[in-house]
Structure 1
Amino acid sequence: MPMNTHVLLVTETWLTSGSFPTNWSQFHLYGSKVPGAFNRGSGGITAFVSPSCPFSVSQLPSYNAHTLSLKVGTLTVHCVYLPPPLSSDKVLSLLRSLPVTSDTILCGDFNARFGSLLGDTNANPRGTSLLPWLEESSFSILNESLAFGTPTFTTFRRQQEVHSIIDLFLTNIGEAALLHPQLVVESDLSLGSDHRLMVLTFEYVPPPDDTLGSGSSGGLAPRRQWKLSKLRKKRPLGLLRESFRTSVAPLVGSLSGLVSAPPGVCPDIDAINDSLNQCLYESLDSSIGVKSGRPGHWKKYWTQEIEDAARERDTMYSRWRWASRFAKVETWNLYQAAHRRFRSLVQAAKRRSWNQFCSDLEKDFSKATAAIKRIKRNKECSATYSHPDGPTASVNTMASHLASVYDGSLLNNASRLAAPSNFSDLPYDVSTADLGLFDADTLVSLIKRLPNGKAPGPDHLKAEMLKALASDIAPVLSLLFTLCSQWSYTPALWRHAQVFPIYKKGDVSDPANFRPISLTSVMRKLFEFSLMPALDEHSPALDVAQGGFRPQRSPLD
């Protein structure tokens, strides 16, 4: 498979739940369990999306039990597995039920043979019945123009090799929009399947009206990540603290002057907060390094010996494919021997890896519980909201729904005063402000209370980063929080949230069946912790019936 593959579609996965162990994103159409067969399934389709894929990919609602539908950028992609027992009428009904846009691709195992149209040796009734549908739907078969006569399925019957063309790529995209298309059918790869790997590459030029369509995601900023595990080591931690002290020193001087002698005009608190964040980013980059979005390879048992055996197997398979006459017998035996050696090495390595895994679980109870949670999570199917018109339509529809529910109609309509812009407009005397509210020692203790392992907000900062710098960053935050209190203003980034819809139950195409969660800045949370004691003094006591959102309580109480 080419290293630059963005989306990989696999039919007949036999997967009935969970997911495959890989760092690629996965979308599943689960198969059905075979009666009487232990944990074995039939059918099923999976789409793997590379971490380096430059396009937004989302799963569309399942329109039938044989199709996995995706939105890849602006393209609509339907991958099908149509088993042979399905009648031609049923197949036509399934295909006609699929939503078709002006840029749709259908692919997969159709089990339909079109004879001379594709350069196949025979045709079958399913292929014949699909011809009128292809014409009325304006679909063309890319195998005809890009891989004419190239078999996609090879098997042996009565000791004879049999070929057919049943795995197809169909599209209604015009030639003007589909540039430089290539369809490669790999025949020299030993994949343990009768079906051959097919690779379709092309450049797509959307119509002018679609250039700002649902595939655009340029406005989304990727999350910044760092190798936080290095903070457990003394040297990287020391480098982080030293780098932060050096980079933040000029900012501390500016903050001290603004707090001790407030200017006549409100300072740019947003820019000050951005400068502090930048100091943190640069210190993290230079000390512990940026973490790649792609985790380590999942095959921990893979060794160079196994890699060499895999290459030897593929070499023998290629020789057998191109051998002639009696040489085929010898090369086939060589391939079988190479394949047996490869499988033996893999199975032995898997056993060693499994034994090591079990040993680690016995030694560390926390690893055992984490592994159980991970296994349970992988077996669960997490539903995501999607829209047939793509990610942008999904976001807009969900935003409209949330706005209709959380529109603030139940709040007091009294308008809030705007933040003061001049010193004379301050709501209280700055000179008498209680600066002890944001004492550095108090902030250190509050930083230690922040929970670990939480997703960051829009500023990419996590509690673990602040805890590593608690004694160094607390004085800086003390000045910043005091400045915010003086001017009755907090940075806009603290008031932004990344909202994610979490599926509850019911129809996944209904936005009302999702509840929102908000990811906010850890700086905002720390600021709220600092204000909480003073607010509690003036707040009425909570009703005894209040159980939700209280320590050691729940709504069930």
Structure 2
Amino acid sequence: MAMLSTKSNSGVSSPPVGSPGRTVMSQPRGERLKCRSKLKICTWNVKTMSKEGKIENAIQEMKRMHIEIMGISEMRWPNSGEMQVENHKIYYSGKNDGVHEYGVGVIVSPTVAKCVTNFTPVSERIMLLQIQASPINISILQVYAPTADKEEEEVVELYQEINKIIEKIPKHEILIVMGDFNAKIGAVNRTQYIGAHGLGNRNDRGDLLEKFAEDSDLVVTNTFFQLPPRRLYTWISPQDKPGRIIKNQIDYILVNRRFRNSFTSVKTYPGADLESDHVPLVGVFRVKLKKVHRKIPKSYDMRLLKDPNMKMDVQAMLNEQVSNSVKDEMDDEQKVRKIGEIVQTLKEKHLKTDRSNKTKSWMTEEILNMMEERRKAKQDPERYKTIKIAIRRKIREAKENEATERCEEIEALQKKHDSYNVHRKVKELTGGFKRRQQGNLTDLDGNIILDKQSKIRIWKEYLETLFEDQRNNSFGMEEANDGPEILQQEVQLAITQLKEGKAAGPDDIQAEFLKLFDDETITLITKMFNNIYDSGRIPAEWLKSEFIALPKKPGAKKCEEYRTISLMSHLLKLFLKIIHKRIYKLCESQISPNQFGFINAVGTREALFSIQVLIQRCRDVNCDVYACLIDYEKAFDRVKHDKMIQILKEAGINDKDLRIIGNLYWNQSANLRVEGDHTENVRIMRGVRQGCVLSPLIFNLYSERIFSEALHEMEKGILLNGYRLNNIRYADDTIVFADNLEDLQALMNKITHESKQ
């Protein structure tokens, strides 16, 4: 087992250690990491990973050189995220504007992938990967510094940014900073941080690198090993001729000074090939990795229910178990829980699948063998060029063959009317499933948050702030007699309208299982719904929601730049669909024709067409048009519950429906999923419920009240056939019109005032 010991050497040098080549490294004072296991890590500027076949070539070289962690400089992939190829995990950080420029990445083996605890894409030049090891964790910063043609200020800013990240990493952890620094340290006198075995002469960037190493207490490991020049240089000038070749050492691996001797060898492998003018710098590192025990959600394949035999078997077992286990004497809470347990048991038994990546790759063994031949031909430029051209041709052919096969699969699925798999195959073909985007999270001061517990705390505080409001402590509607009984036909119709393929809520019941209910089970569900409807008491499982945060844009860093998607119970959705069906016509009749959002038979096209017709009409009659576009910030999350209930009551919603809506809103809570864990539950005290079928209807009524009160008796706007048109809306997106600037300002002042009430 790895262990950490303290040993003083009284200044005496240790005997040579590490790989062949007269490698010498003196024993430092202080602590030394002793581990039985050895890990090969590498940094390599590959010029680009955007070329087809490049990533597969890199993985092939990793396997050949037995490298577990490969840092990549100049990746040239836009945005940031992670993906998997041949069981290797690839983490990358690039430019957020979609440009294929700069970029860094790290490729890890399947063994190391299980030990990764955190990935932080900092910028297109810096990324952090944290790995759990024994007894001390490892943090790896992969770097790509600006080239010599860039201003020195850019380099200084890069080191400042790296230092900000280093300050957040626990001091006792192993820190490795590696990459293409575009700096020449040269063969200089040895210091605590720079060895005497560099290559060539130092430049100004080398001085900056040494200062950075000294300030951060890091040593440049590949300058401490006495090796022949061919094991030191990391870059060959691509513009030089065979008789005049310039080779420099500009890629480095840095580590905390206290862990310097954990590297037993750091040298280049000039025989490796990835169509780059750089060569890989490989370090052998003594460490023992520790597998991270992640909370991985179980995966179930609902498509298996498409098979008639499977569907028949599961349906029979589901209805039989519900009939035998769900008793009349149970309360509604127990019934909901029992149905969830039955569904979970059936999923485990019949629908459980593994999460391994089984996507077929276009890469062939023939192409990989040709890449190996190209590597062996590096000393023969003509043969190297010939093989390279042949590889490109083979890659084009392989990609074309793969596209043809995929298209044939899609056509076959279309003939079977399997729209779900057609959509899936099209996304695979177009690269929709290729990479999973990832953003950072920063605190109020803009500092990147690294540890999970801090992220959970920040998200909890954000949710509390977002949904906090002053309202009555209780809904206060105990008695409700007005409201018809829920019929079995209503439940059956609502079940047929449920959408399949949607994520399950906290009760983990998918809509596909609700569609397997037979008449007897539907009768039981109807009775349960009536109990809830008559009493107004909603099961606790239905009052819980789970949020998932998705970045609204590449490089999202603030909580506000994430979209929170809510997962709620499908049984609750079924119940609310019945209420929605009852109140829809009543509510829609009170919404003006100016609203195009969430209304049957109209949408964005009709709204845009109306705007175009209005402007064209004004041009025809030589009438000025002044317009102001309103973008409400988080409009759906700012709905006041007291006012919402009052509006629904005045709209004529019956008492039982109103009581269900009120109890649902007054007792709801939610948490947010953060890297497999969850925040504590937060009370939702304002806003309409995300993912709820009633929310669009409620929001339309709410916004209608605001505009009707704001524009009441205001004869301002565009006059058309005796009617004053002053606004067109699609949900919360609004355009306000007037025929002069003063009227437009007056309209906006009134709308602003009412919106704040």
Conserved? CA contact 1:60–1:71, under 8 Å: no
Alignment equivalent of 1:28, drawn from 76, 83, 93: 93
Letter in 2 for 1:153: T
Conserved? CA contact 1:17–1:379, under 8 Å: no
Alignment equivalent of 2:300, drawn from 226, 230, 233: 226
Distance 1:169 1:522 in 2: 52
Letter in 1 for 2:202: N
Displacement of 1:449:
0.8
Alignment equivalent of 2:202, drawn from 124, 129, 135: 124
Decide which structure has greater strand share: 2
Answer yes or no: is 1:520 the counterpart of 2:591: no
Name the structure 2 match of 1:444.
Answer: 492
Alignment equivalent of 2:359, drawn from 283, 286, 297: 297
Q: Secondary structure at the match of 2:591?
A: coil
Letter in 2 for 1:384: G
Conserved? CA contact 1:147–1:185, under 8 Å: no
Q: Secondary structure at the match of 2:344?
A: helix
Conserved? CA contact 1:186–1:197, under 8 Å: yes
Distance 2:227 2:523 in 1: 71
* CA pair 380-6 structure 1, distance change in 2 beyond 3 A: closer
* CA pair 503-288 structure 1, distance change in 2 beyond 3 A: closer
Conserved? CA contact 1:147–1:183, under 8 Å: no
Q: Which moved more, 1:94-103 or 1:364-373?
A: 364-373
* CA pair 384-167 structure 1, distance change in 2 beyond 3 A: same
Name the structure 2 match of 1:262.
Answer: none
Conserved? CA contact 1:26–1:47, under 8 Å: yes
Alignment equivalent of 1:86, drawn from 144, 150, 171: 150
Conserved? CA contact 1:78–1:106, under 8 Å: yes
Which is higher, the Rg of structure 1 or of structure 2? 2
Conserved? CA contact 1:113–1:166, under 8 Å: yes
Name the structure 1 match of 2:468.
Answer: 407
Name the structure 2 match of 1:14.
Answer: 76
Alignment equivalent of 1:107, drawn from 165, 168, 178: 178
* CA pair 107-20 structure 1, distance change in 2 beyond 3 A: same
Name the structure 2 match of 1:346.
Answer: 395
Distance 2:387 2:128 in 1: 38
Distance 1:362 1:234 in 2: 23
Letter in 2 for 1:256: K
Distance 1:504 1:13 in 2: 24
**Cα deviation digits, residues 190-220 of structure 1 (max 9, x gap):** 32223345567665899xxxxxxxx9996xx
Name the structure 2 match of 1:45.
Answer: 104
Q: Secondary structure at the match of 2:352?
A: coil
* CA pair 204-111 structure 1, distance change in 2 beyond 3 A: farther
Alignment equivalent of 1:168, drawn from 245, 252, 261: 252
Q: Secondary structure at the match of 1:446?
A: helix
Q: Secondary structure at the match of 2:93?
A: strand
Name the structure 1 match of 2:118.
Answer: 57
Name the structure 1 match of 2:125.
Answer: 66
Q: Secondary structure at the match of 1:97?
A: helix
Conserved? CA contact 1:29–1:68, under 8 Å: no
Q: Which moved more, 1:196-205 or 1:462-471?
A: 196-205
Letter in 1 for 2:567: L
Answer yes or no: is 1:195 the counterpart of 2:278: yes
Name the structure 1 match of 2:368.
Answer: 310
**Cα deviation digits, residues 408-445 of structure 1 (max 9, x gap):** 32x3233769xxxxxxxxx899xx99996263x54332
Alignment equivalent of 1:280, drawn from 332, 335, 343: 343
Answer yes or no: is 1:384 the counterpart of 2:463: no
**Cα deviation digits, residues 365-390 of structure 1 (max 9, x gap):** 97589848985978999673513232
* CA pair 70-529 structure 1, distance change in 2 beyond 3 A: same
Conserved? CA contact 2:440–2:555, under 8 Å: no
Distance 2:80 2:121 in 1: 19
Gaps of 5+ in 1: 34-39, 207-214, 260-265, 322-327, 418-426
* CA pair 289-338 structure 1, distance change in 2 beyond 3 A: farther
* CA pair 14-61 structure 1, distance change in 2 beyond 3 A: closer
Distance 1:445 1:50 in 2: 51
Name the structure 1 match of 2:31.
Answer: none
**Cα deviation digits, residues 502-528 of structure 1 (max 9, x gap):** 555799444344453322122221232
Letter in 1 for 2:104: I
Name the structure 2 match of 1:498.
Answer: 546
Displacement of 1:451:
2.2
Answer yes or no: is 1:135 the counterpart of 2:189: no
Q: Secondary structure at the match of 1:457?
A: coil
- Number of equivalences: 499
Percent of counterpart pairs with the same letter? 15
**Cα deviation digits, residues 478-518 of structure 1 (max 9, x gap):** 46546656875544333222223455579944434445332
Compute the TM-score of the two structures, normalised by the length of structure 2. Answer: 0.53
Distance 2:198 2:432 in 1: 45
Q: Secondary structure at the match of 1:497?
A: strand
Distance 1:147 1:495 in 2: 67
Distance 2:259 2:504 in 1: 45
Distance 1:505 1:194 in 2: 34
* CA pair 32-464 structure 1, distance change in 2 beyond 3 A: closer
Name the structure 2 match of 1:324.
Answer: none
Distance 1:471 1:48 in 2: 54
Conserved? CA contact 1:180–1:203, under 8 Å: no
* CA pair 15-513 structure 1, distance change in 2 beyond 3 A: closer
Displacement of 1:81:
1.5
Displacement of 1:548:
8.4
**Cα deviation digits, residues 136-181 of structure 1 (max 9, x gap):** 22122344568977446354743267654432232448439x9788
Displacement of 1:280:
1.9
* CA pair 415-229 structure 1, distance change in 2 beyond 3 A: closer
Gaps of 5+ in 2: 1-58, 188-194, 443-447, 603-729, 735-757
Conserved? CA contact 1:19–1:379, under 8 Å: no
Displacement of 1:453:
3.7
Compute the TM-score of the two structures, normalised by the length of structure 1. Answer: 0.70
* CA pair 339-118 structure 1, distance change in 2 beyond 3 A: farther
Conserved? CA contact 2:198–2:223, under 8 Å: no
Distance 2:303 2:276 in 1: 41
CA RMSD of aligned residues (A): 5.1
* CA pair 490-95 structure 1, distance change in 2 beyond 3 A: same
Name the structure 1 match of 2:591.
Answer: 544
Distance 2:436 2:302 in 1: 29
Conserved? CA contact 2:218–2:255, under 8 Å: yes
